[in-house]
Amino acid sequence: MDYTRYQRIRFDRRDRVLTLTLHRPDKPASLNAVDEPMHRELSQVFYDVALDDEADVLVITGDGTAFSSGGDIEWMSRTTEASATEGKKLLQGLLDLEKPIIARINGAAIGLGATIALFCDLAYALDDARIADPHVRVGLVAGDGGAIIWPALIGSMRAKRYLLTGDAVSGREAAAMGLVNESHPTPEALDAAVYGMAERLARGATRAIRWTKIASNIALKQLAQAVMEASFAYEIHSFKTEDHREAVAAFLDKRKPTFVGR
């Protein structure tokens, strides 16, 4: 498989384990924020990995000290319905890929970054990693998958406590509540856990593992299909609100937004 056309995703192989690293060489300080090119690539990459005969297990992580800080605010201000179509394709790609996917949450996983990590089959985080879906803090609906995966993992009541406030949890807290599998104190310990599991799965009965993943994902796929259209539509609608425009302006002006409920 030729991945050379990808600009926002770096690919590394370790035997039968393929690692995808989100990165923004054009803007390193963005903490791997998802811009238009990265979003487009994420909507396609899982379909390409499905055709990669040299990979049995996929690891997803972020460059440097963050997984992904979520959607790039400047790009989000120009988001269109075409972006929602890409977003649906991204989530479907994560769920449809037969090969097991492990999230290596090496730092902040925010908004869409959190959604990508939590839609993986297994997730391991640093103890002090920050995981959050703060769409509401910028006047948006958590429509790109957060409203699906947080309740599925930790229950509706607990999930809404975080989705309605945008508050973050640490990796340690996320592990305690079942949002991720485990948390670890250092990058070295995180790597040992992630790649220890990845290599164990790669040495296993790969067909049985793949089909077990697909069977386990049936209920989640049904839930995603039931919720996805409405949640993305609500998010697109919220882009047109005064509150979101105020949030973008406040971000660019480096001040706190003043919401008016419109």
CA 168 – CA 41 distance, rounded (Å): 27
Sign of the alpha-carbon dihedral angle for 155, 156, 162, 166? positive
Indicate the pTM of the whole model. 0.94
Is residue 58 one of the residues assigned to a domain?
yes
Token representation of residue 148: 């699906």
**What is the pLDDT, as a whole number, of residue 79?**
65
Asked if the model's pLDDT at residue 239 lies above 90, the reply is no
Is residue 16 one of the residues assigned to a domain?
yes
Is residue 258 one of the residues assigned to a domain?
no
The helix or strand, by DSSP H or E, that contains position 11, with its residue range, turns out to be strand 9-14
* Domain CATH for 90: 3.90.226.10
Is residue 43 one of the residues assigned to a domain?
yes
Burial of 183 (0-12, 13-18, 19+ CB in 10 A): buried
* Residue 259, C-beta contacts closer than 8 angstroms, at least 6 positions apart: 139, 243, 246, 247
**What is the pLDDT, as a whole number, of residue 157?**
97
CA 34 – CA 136 distance, rounded (Å): 18
CB 194 within 8 A of CB 184: no
Residue range 31-48, pLDDT digits in tens: 999 999 999 999 999 999
CA 243 – CA 257 distance, rounded (Å): 8
CA 113 – CA 254 distance, rounded (Å): 22
Domain count, the chain: 1
Token representation of residue 259: 């919401």
The neighbouring-strand residues paired with 59 are 19, 102
CA 144 – CA 126 distance, rounded (Å): 24
Asked if the model's pLDDT at residue 20 lies above 90, the reply is yes
The mean pLDDT of 107-129, rounded to a whole number, is 98
Is residue 192 one of the residues assigned to a domain?
no
Is residue 84 one of the residues assigned to a domain?
yes
* Residue range of the domain that includes 150: 9-187+199-253
Is residue 49 one of the residues assigned to a domain?
yes
Query: What percentage of the chain exceeds 90 in pLDDT?
Result: 81
Is residue 193 one of the residues assigned to a domain?
no
Closest CA to 225 of 123, 157, 145, 113: 145
Residue range 133-185, pLDDT digits in tens: 999 998 999 988 999 999 999 999 999 999 999 999 999 999 999 999 999 99
Token representation of residue 155: 């229950």
